[in-house]
Structure 1
Amino acid sequence: MITARGLVQTFSTKQGRTRREVRAVDGVDLDVAEGEVIGFLGPNGAGKTTTLRMLTTLLRPTEGTATVAGHDVVRESQAVRRSIGYVSQAGGTFSMARAGDEVVDHGMLYGMSRAAATARGQELFEQLDLPGLWQRTPKQMSGGQKRRLDIVMGLIHDPTLVFLDEPTTGLDPQARANLWEHIARLRSERGATVFLTTHYLDEADALADRIMIIDRGRIVASDTAENLKAAVSGDLVTLEVADPLRLGDAATALGGIAQAVEVEGRLVSGRVARAGRAVPGLVRELDRTGITLDAIEVHRPTLDDVFLTLTGRSLRDAAEGAQGAGGTEPDAAADAVPDLQGADR
């Protein structure tokens, strides 16, 4: 459904009298299969939104090639736009227009008749829990309702591939959970392929079949969340040793299965690959050597652990920064509106 090879996007910036070239995306290769849900993650400025805009024809690649829904993003940009749905960070609705009118006009831009766009729009309003809001303006809606309206706009022409750029940023937990259900149903009920950028680790964990991590313009990892956690971080095993004089012995025993063992107070900890298999043997060894524990804890790795290992930065910190800045990523030009009627560029 999506294939990209060597995608590059450069921007020219000026500092005083000096101009320099910024390589926002630096040779991205990616493949997305039909029906996959991809979580596309990275710290602020990593290149997420720039990559998304190239794949949706909003930015022309400086170098490289990309095929989306069977069409080249440069030579066949109109065909790409007709084949995809796109929900941007900022949304695409006019706050003073009635929601139903916006949806119908958007459908007609894709060549739908007014009657077909109206019928399809009303069907989506029911599916996305927006009944009775057809005549309401976006400024009269809650944050969750407005984001679901944005998704209606992106789905009006029944695309087989949907791009969602930070779809739940700024929503309260209940609205986020509700929107998660709708995103999951895009694939389960409609068979759509979903390409999702997000700063929320739990969102990617819950929704994505596969996670791609981009940092400094390059893809640094691509796998399932479970495989990334197991391969990069391991489980954190912490032993609370009853006798402080046996801390060294406990550290030696844990060191037999763990990496980077640390001792702090009466706690001995280390990262263990697939600890569920290894810990029972560790407990037997501790018992055999007479080391008594007050407690043993096993913490499964998180996606934030993966990020910290791969990029040296915490995505959780980046997410908090993005929310404080209004949820936008400063790695590309402002959103452009694609000309659905114009010639391919």
Structure 2
Amino acid sequence: MEAPAASPRLTQLSHGAGCACKLPPGLVHDVIAGLPRPQSPDLLVGLETADDAAVYRVSDELAVVTTVDFFTPIVDDPYDFGRVAATNALSDVYAMGGTPLTALNLVAYSVEDLGREPLVEILRGGSDAAAAAGVAIVGGHSIDDAEPKYGLAVTGTVHPDRVMRNSTARAGDALFLTKPVGSGVVSTALKRGLASPATAAAALEVMTTLNRDAAARALDAGPSAMTDVTGFGLLGHLHELCELLAGAVPAIDGVLDLLRSHEPPVAGGTRRNRDWLSPWVEWADGVSDERRWLLYDAMTSGGLLVAAGEDSGAPGVRIGRLVEGRAGAIAVSA
């Protein structure tokens, strides 16, 4: 009798990994530029600012937050893939200042190619992450696809007067980051067999930590703006006018060593981020190549980026500040 075939490594089944498989941001902007914009005084956040979620007011006291996020495998273990994907999708609601309530599964999977059990584990991981957030998964949609994909469409609520946005930061505010960066580097290293078990475990811990508690602390600090850091990299989500201290940005353990290697594990999404943002970034002398790649890294389930007063008590590490000057410019010092 033949032994059963070993389960395939999920990261070998996709051309990209996690949020690094997003379409280039410039292309997305161009494609939607000609589409009609919904017009309603109750649409508080729509397409205009490429925010983390849409927000629609239903009464003076209540607005609905709606978002969707799904992607290809970023880790090999099906259960962990489900946890990361669900944690990542829920983050958009937290970034808007909201509370997620319900979610729908989005699944692309080939039972014929991969068998039933990995799919069960993916959904179990997503269910456990949602349950930890107090979110009910109430349905979903699936299609047959040889390249696995998983994520959630999430609905939440927020008070209309307490919506957080990515476009309202004040000059003079400090910038705080609540998680270390580099998950895109680690996922690419995993695909190439380069990531150590310790580095992979550190990245998984980052990617499966809900942004719920950090968001609550950030809201207590009275921030002017907030977003989460994902596929467009830290610099992409900082595409406002700011000064950034590269050396202050925390990295996942082992990531800088990976980036110092002869062939650093840089994802295609990270390279696209660099191509998109290069005209806007001014690098000071002394910022190393590995630090530059780190700031462009196409992340999955990253932390919150919070703009708030210097002494506000905002959570995370202070990594820079908002300044007056050329709109969209990012000055990076060592």
Same fold (TM over 0.5): no
**TM-score scaled by length of structure 1:** 0.23
**TM-score scaled by length of structure 2:** 0.23
The structure carrying a bigger strand percent of its residues is 1
Give 1 or 2 for the bigger CA radius of gyration.
1
